[in-house]
Amino acid sequence: MNKALLFTLLLFTTVGFSQSNCSCEDKFKWMKETFEQNDAGFQYVVDKKGKVEYDRHNELILQKIKEAKDDTACIQVLYDWLYFFRKGHISIRQNIPQNNQAGAADVVKSDWPLNKTTVGKLKTHLAKLKEPGLEGIWEMNPYTIGIVKNNKGYEGFIIDAPGTSWQKGQVKLKMDADGKNGVLYLRNYSEYKISDSHFTGNNNLMLDNFSFKRLYPEIQDLGNIKLFNELIGSYKPIGKQLSQDTFILRIPYFDYNQKKIIDSVINANHDKITASKNLIIDVRNNGGGADRCYEGLIKYLYTNPIRTVGVEMLSTPLNNLRMEEFLADPDLTEEGKKEIIETQEKLKANLGKFTNVNGWSVYTETLDTIYTYPQKVAILINKNNASTTEQFLLAAKQSTKVKLYGTTTAGMLDVSNMNFVNSPCGNLTLGYCLSKSYRIPDMAIDDIGLQPDYYIDVSIPDYEWIDFAEKIMNGK
C-alpha cells in the first residue's frame, strides 16, 4: 500500500450494533477487551510502565466505575482508563439514537438554560460602553455567540450555530467576574473548564486553546496584533508577503478536505515564495489531518533526501475489516484494488502479529530541484501541534534550510491511524490505533513532543513570534 494511503487511514467499523441498556461495568469490560486485543500501542505501554502498574490502574478504575452515577460520569472514567496509554489518538464517546440527532455527533438539549438577551438589546448595551472587554458578539466557527455581563460574571449565549444542535439563546459559556476562569460547553454539551483567558489585541480572545474573533463592536488593531489576528483567526490557509525578503504561509489545518485549498494557495504564490529570501510557515494550533496535505510544501524546504520511518500494522480480525470497507469503495481504481487485496492477504497471513504491509521500514524521498530561494525557512510551532503536523515537522527539520521556532509540540504520533468501533450495546464508540512507528523506542514522540530549535518563552507575546523569527533569519 502506498505511503500516503497508509498514513491517512480513518476508519469506522460497526461491531454487533444493537440497542439495549448496558451498565457502566459492561461498557468498561467491552472497551478494555477491545483495546487490549486490537490497539497497536497497548502492549508497548504495558511493557514500558509494567504489568504491576497496569493492574493497579485497572483496580482504581473499577472502583470509580462502581461509583459512576450517570452516563457522563461513566464516560469520564472510561476516558481516564484510556489516558493510561497516551494522551492523544484515543477516544470514547456516547452515541445518540439516529432519531434524536441534529448532526453526526450532536446531542439535542431542549431543556438547556437560556439567556433571553436579544442581539438588538446587546448592541444597544455595547454602544454605551467605552471598553467592552469580554462583552460583545464573537465568532468561533461554527458558533456566533453574544457575551453579556451579569451579577455572577459573564454569560455567552448562542446567536447562530449552523450544522449543530445548539439553539438560539442557549448558554454556551460562563466566565467568573474577573473573566479569567469559567466553563465552555462543547458541541455535545459536555463541560470544558477554562483555566486561562487572555486577549491578543482587542478582537481576538483566547480561552485556553479556543480562539474567538470579535465581530461587534470591532475595535481597530494595528501592526503585529492586526497581522496575528488575521493569520491565527483564519480557518483557511493564507499566503502573504511580509516584506521584500520574507513571505509567510499560515496553514491552520491539515484536514484532508483542506488539501485543494492549501495547494491552491501554494500554487498561487509560487513565484513570490521562490523570490523571497525567507519563508515563514505558521502551523501553530494545527492539530494534524492527512499527510497528503503538506506534500506541496516540501519542495520549498528540500535540500537533501528526506527519510520517513514507516509503521507496522497490528493484524486482528477486527482491524482487518477495514480492507473490506476499502474494497467496497465505488471510486476505487484497479491499481488501488490490487494494492488493497495484497495488503489484505499479508494481514490475514499474520493474524495476531505486527505486519509491515509496505515492505519497507524507511522511505527515502528524493526531489530533482533545490530552489535557491527561500534560503531560510522558519516554522512556527506550539503545544497544539500533533499527529500529521508532527510528521510534517519530522520531514521538514531534515532540511538544512529549516529551523523550528516556538514551544514543544503535543507528542501524538508514534501510535496512529485511528479506527472507530461501536460497542455491542450500540451506545458507545471507541477510538483506538492500528499502527505503531518503527521509530519507537529509539525516537519516541508520544507524550514527549518535538522541541524547537529556537524556544520562544512566555515573555514574547504570540503576536511577536513572526517578528522574532524574521529577525533571527535576517541575522539581527
User: With bands split at pLDDT 50, 70 and 90, how would you rate the model's confidence at 101?
Assistant: very low
The letter for the amino acid at 226 is K
Look at residue 65 and tell me whether its pLDDT is greater than 70.
Answer: yes
| Region 147-157 average pLDDT | 95
pLDDT for position 18: 35
Mean pLDDT of 393-397: 98
pLDDT band of residue 102 (cuts 50, 70, 90) is very low
Mean pLDDT, the chain, rounded, equals 89
Q: What is the pLDDT of residue 96?
A: 57
Give the residues across from 431 on adjacent strands.
Answer: 91, 420
Residue predicted with more confidence, 99 or 285: 285
Q: What is the mean pLDDT of residues 61-72?
A: 91
Looking at the predicted structure, is the pLDDT value of residue 107 above 70? Answer: no
Tens digit of each residue's pLDDT (9 = 90 or more) over 35-55: 999 999 999 999 999 999 999
Question: Which strand (E) or helix (H) includes residue 173?
Answer: strand 171-175
Min mean pLDDT across 84-98, 255-269, 303-317 is at 84-98
The pLDDT of 328-357, averaged and rounded, is: 90
136-152 average pLDDT score:
94
- What are 3-20's pLDDT values in tens digits? 433 333 333 343 433 334
User: What pLDDT is attached to residue 11?
Assistant: 39
Is residue 55 within 8 Å of 46, Cβ to Cβ?
no
Across residues 287-292, what is the average pLDDT? 91
Using DSSP's 3-state secondary structure scheme, residue 225 falls into helix
% of the chain beyond a pLDDT of 90: 71
- Going across the sheet that includes 153-160, the strands are 191-194, 182-185, 171-175, 153-160, 143-150, 136-140, 210-216, 204-207, 197-200
The CATH architecture that domain 224-416+432-473 belongs to is: Alpha-Beta Complex (3.90)
Instruction: Give percent of the chain above pLDDT 70.
Output: 93
Cα Rg for the chain, rounded, in angstroms? 24
Distance CA 3, CA 387 (A): 15
Find the mean pLDDT for residues 448-465.
95
- Cell, residue 49: 510502565
* CA separation for the pair 200, 227 (Å, rounded): 11
pLDDT (0 to 100) of residue 100: 42
Output the pLDDT for position 89. Answer: 93
Q: Kindly indicate the confidence band of residue 106, based on its pLDDT and cuts at 50, 70 and 90.
A: low
* Mean pLDDT of the region 158-187: 93
Kindly list the domain boundaries of the chain, sorted by start residue: 9-100, 119-187+196-219, 224-416+432-473
